[in-house]
Amino acid sequence: MSSSHTIEDIKLIQRGTDPNEILCTIKFAECSNYVELYTREESIEDKIVGEFEANLYRTFDAGEVYGEPEFPPVDYGTLPPTVAEYIETSRAKRDQLLAESDWTDSAPHLDAAVRTKWQTYRQALRDITSTPAWPYDPAWPTKP
């Protein structure tokens, strides 16, 4: 999943008010847009971080590859998401879009061409978790 993402650019590496967290705005080659990401070396009660975020934190903290994190620390009202939170949010949106289109499976009034378009849309939703930009910036299919 995340380990297959290639860092293309980083616009911001900012320490939070907790010195053990670093927040960044990062551009993965597989994504169209920059994403905000929360990193720290280990999980805490309300923020579970995985190996990807921990490794990224250690790289940022060392300051050798991307430069030193910016100061002064920022007290973010809402912390950027972790990878797990990106997955949870993206999966919830995907599941909601699938649920909203469930009716197409049993709609007798749809002609074959329209039914095929809905089937293609629903398959794209099911396959979106294997696209390169998942879970940060998936290209959501358009409803027919």
Tens-place pLDDT, residues 80-135: 888 888 999 999 999 999 999 999 988 888 898 999 999 999 999 999 999 999 99
35 in a domain, yes or no?
yes
- Tell me how many domains the chain contains: 1
90 in a domain, yes or no?
no
Q: pLDDT band for position 2 (50/70/90)?
A: very low
71 in a domain, yes or no?
yes
13 in a domain, yes or no?
yes
Share of the chain above pLDDT 90, in %: 39
Q: pLDDT band for position 1 (50/70/90)?
A: very low
What distances in angstroms separate CA 82 from CA 24, 87, 101, 104, 119, one per listed residue?
Answer: 11, 9, 29, 34, 32
122 in a domain, yes or no?
no
Provide the residue range defining the domain that includes 7.
2-77
Q: What DSSP element (H or E) covers 11?
A: strand 7-16
89 in a domain, yes or no?
no
Residue 47 in this model has a pLDDT that exceeds 80: no
Placement of tokens 């099911």 in the chain: 126
The rounded distance, in Å, linking the Cα atoms of 57 and 55 is 5
Residues in contact with 78: Cβ distance below 8 Å, sequence separation at least 6, in sequence order:
none
pLDDT of residue 42: 80
Answer yes or no: are the C-beta atoms of 62 and 70 closer than 8 Å: no
Give the N- to C-terminal CA distance of the chain in Å, as an integer. 29
84 in a domain, yes or no?
no
> Rounded mean pLDDT of the chain?
85
